[in-house]
Structure 1
Amino acid sequence: MEGKLTTIRSEIEKNLSRSGHNLASFSKICGLNRGSLSAILHGNPPKPMSLGQIDAIIKAFGFPDGWLYPLYIDECFNEEKVSRRRVEPFLIRCAELGKQQCIDETLSKLLEYPKSLDIVYSIAEKLFNKGKIDESMFFYKVVAENESDSYSERLAISHFRIFMSVKAIVDTDEKLRGVITFGPFRGRLPENMQLDGLLRLTQLCFDLRRWKQMEGFADELRALANAVYRGQLRTKEDRRREELSTERPLVVYYGHGYLLKAISLTKQGQYEEAKKYTAGYAELGWFEMLDEKGLEAVEHFRLFAKANSFTLEMLVGNVNVLPSYTAFLADNPGEILAGLITIMDSANRYGFSAESVLTRFSREMQRFEQYQEPNNVDRLYRLYYQVAMYRINLKQYNIGVDYIIQCLELAIRQNNGKDFINCVTLFETNRDYATVTQQDRYRELVKGVRKNEKITIDDGQRVSIV
């Protein structure tokens, strides 16, 4: 049907004739003024149609939404000008209806005009603010690809929106690409967006195990959160002050500035320094302007500080805290996976038995295999790697190799080249102890990677396996 259409007016006239309506009767059905309808169809020159008018005509004919949209594109352009009041709502509606071909054809014309990115960016923001996140991303990407001013705020915001829209990335290569692409634009954003962007960047660097880069972003986050907090205190009595628009309460960014700094130092082996920053988020009850969510965050930080204090003690070899740590994990199931990584790492470093801990949390370890969230998939890999080494150190080779193979599967799933190499190295070191079945499974996994060329190896600095 659409391929045979000539002009929007000839198609309307054709369907008017088929329906037996005249202008008077059809104007009543579609709700348009007869004079307006006549000016649209018979004016010299014809009066341009608004999107509302063409939608009313489509509905009156009983055709599907967007039926005449391919022919409406020309209504958005008049001689050497573009009609913003027509093209903007038109493209928004096309996005909502999934009319990608109409969007592509309209944009190919629109981008030839000066200041067209003003319109494209406005469309992206309006879709985003309506909750049409997926639909908005296409337009943000158009801005990101076509903006010539690398210091423009709309370019930075477009990159921010694209970066923040991807909530769950398992693929390591995609995580790295996100950091590299968005990172240079973080400082050009409004402060509220900077806070969200820095928090996400720091968390991705944790996933990538880029501890120095993570430490740098954590420093930026802490400094910015402090500055914003001081600014909020100065203006808290001013009723005209603009509310801070962030995804989370301000205390979350403040606390994470310390938490993520402490974690990055821990991963670099700077345990005493990490303890200082752990104290920075252990008690945030003094923080002013706390709403209900803020108070909940303060409680979470208290819990994190206690858990990470146990972690630091275990990592320096203080095995005496193991019973208390185990009891803490039993009382806080959400901390068990991370806690087991720490305990098994410490057991491998200092040679103590972790059998009682593995037995106590054996059911939880089985449930971990159901996790799909990227951070937990990565944690599961790190736990299994430590358990594999622990079993091999005890000469329990069959169990240890089973864990190596499970680690290999997780490394492939995450497209993590460094983890893949670590697994291959550990397996080859212990190949003589692997059963025929285990060797066959290992060979299948490696062949699959070779065939698909999937695994990516980035140049991140890996300080430790955990």
Structure 2
Amino acid sequence: MDTANSIRQELMQHMKKNNMNLSQFAEMSGINSGTLSRILHGDRAISMNQLVGITSGMRLPEDYFFDDYIEECFAFSVSIRRIRPFIFRCAELDRLDCIEQAVNRLIDDLSYTTILFDMAEELFKSHKRLAARILYRTVSEAEKYQHSERLARCHYRLFEIELGSDMEQNLLAATQFELYVNRLDEVDQLDAMKKLMHVFGMVHKWEKVDSLGRDMHRIATVQYELNQRSKRKEEVGRRTERPLYYYILYSLLARSTASEECGDYSRALEFTRLYANGESWVHEKDEEAQRIVGQFADWAVANAYLYRLMSGEVHIMDEYVDYITSREDEIFVGVRHIVQIANQYDLNIDHILERFAAYIPNSSERAEIGEYQPAIIEEGYAQFLSDLAVYHFKQSKHPSLAIKHILEGLQVSIRINSGKNIITCMTLFEECRAFASVEEKNEFKKLSGEVHLLNAKKNVVLLASL
């Protein structure tokens, strides 16, 4: 059967089988009888709305003819008026296979790349991201030798689509996109850099976080100053997810965090003083600006306490504990760091853990401006569990509790595929193995098997990317 005519042939067979004439089926399908006649005689292409009417009139699933309709789209002449609604309906019904076939046929003519890109953007904004991914990949492959902003934007969108709970996959997506971030429009770069910093921070690539923070500060500062001098101040700012001054403050916070994670607490404190001082240079005085500047100032106070504690000023511990007590969103983050400090300086913090037991873990860790993704929260929680296990084991009071935290931390680490935390938890368990019960050893064996499966999957992904 000629696939270009298969829809017509099946329709004629249906009408014959059910003893229906043209007028009767026209009434059932909602298609004009004259139009239907021209379609059956092959004198007219079938539009998407007409395909829906034919399928409905034949009492078939809506996507029954979708494979055949791909041929219909190209049988007469290439018509975006047919292809575009077809792709969008395929996206609604998750017929990604049909989208891929149609797009691969269309991209044979490179003049359609702009249309495909615009459709991808519309699908992305409509939360049809898997469908959009097919179009972005097709456009990026077609323009891979171009140094265009559109190519960079395709890779940016692909990066956003790939982000999920698997940290290794997130890192792979970030590494692939990182090469294109500087080709984006300078304003678009700010949101892209922020997302890259999130991913690299989760996998402890702090040098990359610091470098991106430096670039973000430079770009945001230039744009903010231009925006202030412009007569149309709202024009630039409207294009970013946040006001431009937010990115300046955020870049300083990111570099402060990177410095802390690298053990350079004096440098971290220098950045802290800078993002604490937003009120002195942010020109906007509206409610949003006051909230953002105030939030960064609060973080600066909390982080200054932490960096001083990490530097060895443990005598201010009680002062810091009192400070976070009235700030519920900061308690769990604070306790995480307190446990690390206790391990570093061999402190007993049982009374603090007891005081904040209700906040471990704190599901409200996601602060309004912080915008933590679930993977970021879980990565922090996995690290917290391993640190807490070390604390209990070092105190030699609760080895069984330490093992419980190690196993839970390993479970979380496997779920998000956090290689660093997996290694930490497995190493800690081996150190505590003598205190583990038979059940706990069996649980560890089971989890170890899951780790081996993760590694095997990782090798397959690496080979596929070569």
TM-score (norm 2): 0.84
Structure-2 separation of matches of 1:370 and 1:252: 20
Change (3 A) 1:3 1:262: farther
Tell me if structure 1 keeps the 8 A contact 2:99–2:131. Answer: no
Structure-1 separation of matches of 2:109 and 2:436: 66
* 1:279 partnered with 2:273: yes
* Equivalent position of 2:416 in the other structure: 414
Structure-1 separation of matches of 2:389 and 2:25: 77
Structure-1 separation of matches of 2:75 and 2:458: 50
Change (3 A) 1:29 1:395: closer
Change (3 A) 1:141 1:237: closer
* Equivalent position of 2:210 in the other structure: 215
Structure-1 separation of matches of 2:429 and 2:51: 67
1:339 to 311, 334, 339: 334
Map 1:25-104; keep pairs closer than 5 Å: 35-42=34-41, 46-59=43-56, 63-78=60-75, 82-104=78-100
Map 1:45-444; keep pairs closer than 5 Å: 46-59=43-56, 63-78=60-75, 82-169=78-165, 171-237=166-232, 241=235, 244-285=238-279, 286-289=281-284, 292-365=287-360, 373-396=374-397, 397-444=399-446
Tell me if structure 2 keeps the 8 A contact 1:412–1:420. Answer: yes
Tell me if structure 1 keeps the 8 A contact 2:257–2:268. Answer: yes
Q: Which ranges of structure 1 fall in alignment gaps of 5 or more residues?
A: 458-466
The Cα shift of 1:115 comes to 3.0
The Cα shift of 1:312 comes to 0.8
Cα-to-partner distance string for 1:320-366 (whole Å, 9 max, x where unaligned): 32122112222112212221122122222223321221110122226
Structure-2 separation of matches of 1:64 and 1:440: 49
Tell me if structure 2 keeps the 8 A contact 1:259–1:277. Answer: yes
The Cα shift of 1:87 comes to 1.7
Change (3 A) 1:133 1:439: closer
Structure-2 separation of matches of 1:388 and 1:172: 23
Cα-to-partner distance string for 1:220-240 (whole Å, 9 max, x where unaligned): 11112112212222224468x
Tell me if structure 2 keeps the 8 A contact 1:449–1:455. Answer: no
What one-letter code is carried by the residue in structure 1 that aligns with 2:215?
E
The Cα shift of 1:261 comes to 0.7
Structure-2 separation of matches of 1:238 and 1:442: 58
Greater relative contact order (Cα 8 A, min sep 6): structure 1 or 2? Answer: 1
The Cα shift of 1:208 comes to 0.5
Structure-2 separation of matches of 1:98 and 1:5: 23
The Cα shift of 1:217 comes to 1.0
What one-letter code is carried by the residue in structure 1 that aligns with 2:105?
K
Cα-to-partner distance string for 1:110-158 (whole Å, 9 max, x where unaligned): 2333334334323212222334334322322333344332523222112
Change (3 A) 1:435 1:229: same
Is the partner of 1:247 in helix, strand or coil? coil
Query: What percentage of aligned pairs have identical amino acids?
Result: 28
Is the partner of 1:209 in helix, strand or coil? coil
Bigger shift: 313-322 or 405-414? 405-414
Structure-2 separation of matches of 1:70 and 1:404: 51
The Cα shift of 1:166 comes to 4.4
Cα-to-partner distance string for 1:242-294 (whole Å, 9 max, x where unaligned): 66323333333222111101100111121111112112222434423566544
Change (3 A) 1:48 1:292: farther
Bigger shift: 229-238 or 376-385? 229-238
